[in-house]
Amino acid sequence: MATLPEDIPAAAVARGPWREAWTVFLRNRAAVMGLAILTLMALLVAFGPMLYAVDPFDLVGAPMSPPGSPDSPLGTDYLGRDIVAGLVWGGRPTVVVGFCAALITALIGITVGSLSGYYGGNVDRVLGRLVELFQVLPALLFAMVLITLFSASAVTVTFAIGVVAWPGMARLTRAEFLRIKQLDFVRAARAIGASDARIILRTILPNALPPIMVSATLATGTAILFQAGLSFLGLTDPNVMSWGLMIGSSRNYLREAWWAVTFPGLCIFLTVLAISLVGDGLNDAFNPKLRDR
């Protein structure tokens, strides 16, 4: 009877690769901490506006009131707007735009990368030139041009971020498809007459998902930073509060009201840090070579 290799526990095989990856992820304290922070931020974004029903644009007190006031626990900005209300209401557009932009990035990158890696030849060459074109374009400048040409709405900002950030995802997906399409089970699927679409979507893509998931997670943090940067520059809707808008509007009063910049900056930092920690944890969990690092 065949026996398992000594370095592979039988329980791990019985659990399956996805369950084993989740077990390894839970052993990573930094990744679990990142997941906890990310969960708290998600709860803040989802339920904060219902629990703290103060309009972020209302003038609730004297301008630049320091933290500690009963009416404004974290102080007010240069206009007298509540910092807590800005954090609670501003998190939703920041995080939602970041996640939706990362989704657009993943969709474009996976589509281009999978077609390029699977078909090769002229398809690979044409799509490769397209990836190189977008890769050499200044991402921030290109996004600014798109927003200026159309509008500063959340939809335009989301689309602009997603459109400029997909080349890295496409290159990763192409590399995975080039590797996996040479394996025996893909050749077997082709031999029994499976269509190209079925081989791409049902045979190769599921096996290429682990590194793509890690890349998509990290792309979410990048998209959140991108959205905050555009808000800081005033290239988003000024009627929608966001963490980047809070920092940008108060940057000239940093010495007089440090709290108006520090607290939204801390929220951005913690959110992106949490996403990075989760991404590193997923990378360790899905890559057996890194598990004993």
Cα 20 to Cα 9: distance, rounded to the nearest angstrom: 11
- Asked if residue 11 belongs to a domain, the reply is no
Per-residue pLDDT at 293 exceeds 80 = no
- Assigned token pair, 271: 């959110």
Per-residue pLDDT at 152 exceeds 60 = yes
- Assigned token pair, 5: 């290799």
Digit-coded pLDDT (tens) for 99-150: 999 999 999 999 999 999 999 899 999 999 999 999 888 888 888 888 888 8
Question: For position 137, which CATH number holds?
Answer: 1.10.3720.10
Q: How many CB atoms lie within 10 A of CB 138?
A: 10
| pTM (predicted TM-score) | 0.83
Residues of the domain holding 196: 32-52+73-290
- The H-or-E segment that residue 51 falls in is helix 29-51
- Asked if residue 22 belongs to a domain, the reply is no
- Asked if residue 14 belongs to a domain, the reply is no
Cα 212 to Cα 283: distance, rounded to the nearest angstrom: 10
Q: What is the pLDDT of residue 15?
A: 52
Cα 96 to Cα 98: distance, rounded to the nearest angstrom: 5
Q: How many CB atoms lie within 10 A of CB 1?
A: 2
Q: When comparing pLDDT for 98 and 20, which is higher? A: 98
- Assigned token pair, 158: 């989301």
Q: What is the pLDDT of residue 259?
A: 93
- Asked if residue 173 belongs to a domain, the reply is yes
Per-residue pLDDT at 38 exceeds 50 = yes
- Asked if residue 271 belongs to a domain, the reply is yes
- Asked if residue 216 belongs to a domain, the reply is yes
- Asked if residue 20 belongs to a domain, the reply is no
Cα 56 to Cα 87: distance, rounded to the nearest angstrom: 8
Q: pLDDT above 70 covers what percent of the chain?
A: 91
In the 8-state DSSP scheme, what is residue 252?
Answer: G
Nearest CA to 75 out of 252, 232, 262, 268 is that of 262
31 and 280 Cβ atoms separated by less than 8 Å: yes
Mean pLDDT for 195-220 is 89
Residues in a beta bridge with 76: 82
Domain count, the chain: 1
Contacts of 17 (CB under 8 A, 6+ apart): none
Nearest CA to 196 out of 117, 131, 104 is that of 117
**Residue 153 in 3-state DSSP?**
coil
Mean pLDDT of the chain: 86
* Helix 205-232 × helix 83-119 angle, to 10°: 140
Q: How many CB atoms lie within 10 A of CB 191?
A: 8
- Asked if residue 66 belongs to a domain, the reply is no
Q: How many CB atoms lie within 10 A of CB 19?
A: 11
List phi, psi (to 5°) of 82: -70, 130
Nearest CA to 98 out of 213, 235, 250, 216 is that of 216
